[in-house]
Amino acid sequence: MKASLFFLGTGAPDAGSDDMPAVAVKAGSTLILLDSGEGVQHKLASIGFGLSKVSNVLITHLHGDHVLGLVPFIQTRTLMFKPAPPLTIFGPPGLMKYLNESFSSLHFDPGRSLEVQELKGPEELRDRGVTIRAMLLDHTVFTIGYLVSLSNDFSMCYLTDTRPLAGEDLGLSCSVLIHDSTFSWIDLDRAKEFKHTTALEAATFAIKTKARILFLYHISSRYRNRTFLENEARRHHLNSYATAKYMRLSLIL
């Protein structure tokens, strides 16, 4: 089976940017969306993915850059398809309130096709043939990381907006690691203050989790040349890459 990762947005908040966090994972007929930054529906359409094909959305936390594209995505999807195919959204406590209040303000009813599950702690989920492990991250608000297993041989870990965790203590291992790399090691104090990770720390964590490939993610706009962070990470993990919008990775599982 073939699988593909599509980076729809890879940056941190920045005025005028359309590079807000979102990653699409496609394996066979399964299409999963990780986070839903602004403009995600347009980006899905631009790479040829119909909105109806998305079966699951995994939201990490309720900061705007990760969730402000979700309501437009749901609304457009519901209006375009009658009835809309089932959609399950996993996310932190408060997600249901955010969605319900948004729908009410917009005089919009998403119908019965939408299911929202709030996760209050570590949990293992199975939905539509995909195994999802949720874990708590270390950020300024309640934040969830996700380990997505698409086969016995392939797993992808999505950890964004967090300080680095103790991977060996979590018993965590993954083939592909997408990790918060908001800052460079020279801005470690800022990383600690705002509960983010440096590229160097992400690379160290990648070694602990035995990741074959590390993608540096949620990169601050202060680093106009992302190769700088890539080189920093490769001091510890050679197979490290700074992400960019519309970057794609194809895999054979």
Give the bridge partners for 145, in sequence order.
135
What is the predicted pLDDT for the residue at 153? Answer: 80
Highest mean pLDDT among 15-29, 170-184, 187-201: 187-201
What is the predicted pLDDT for the residue at 134? Answer: 95
Selected residue with higher pLDDT from 68 and 112: 68
Tokens 């993608």 locate to 215
171 pLDDT higher than 80: no
Q: What is the pLDDT of residues 193-209, one digit of tens each?
A: 999 999 999 999 999 99
Q: Which residues contact 115 (CB under 8 A, 6 or more apart)?
A: 86, 87, 88, 89
How far, in Å, CA of 154 to CA of 150, rounded? 6
What is the predicted pLDDT for the residue at 28? Answer: 84
Binned at pLDDT 50, 70 and 90, residue 37 comes out as very high
Binned at pLDDT 50, 70 and 90, residue 130 comes out as confident
What is the predicted pLDDT for the residue at 25? Answer: 95
**Domains of the chain with CATH codes:** 2-252 (3.60.15.10)
Q: Tell me what the mean pLDDT of segment 109-122 comes to.
A: 94
Binned at pLDDT 50, 70 and 90, residue 242 comes out as very high
What is the predicted pLDDT for the residue at 167? Answer: 52
Which of these, 34, 2, 49, 30, lies nearest to 154 by C-alpha position?
Answer: 2
Q: What is the pLDDT of residues 88-102, one digit of tens each?
A: 999 999 999 999 999
What is the predicted pLDDT for the residue at 115? Answer: 95
- Cβ neighbours, 10 Å, residue 52: 14
Which of 68-77, 92-101, 163-172, 221-230 is least confident? 163-172
168 pLDDT higher than 70: no
Q: What is the pLDDT of residues 38-50, one digit of tens each?
A: 999 999 999 999 9
- Cβ neighbours, 10 Å, residue 24: 21
Selected residue with higher pLDDT from 188 and 172: 188
Mean pLDDT, the chain, rounded, equals 93
Contact by Cβ (8 Å): 10, 217: yes
What is the predicted pLDDT for the residue at 170? Answer: 64
Tell me the catalytic residues. Answer: 65
Instruction: Flag whether the pTM goes above 0.85.
Output: yes
What is the predicted pLDDT for the residue at 169? Answer: 54
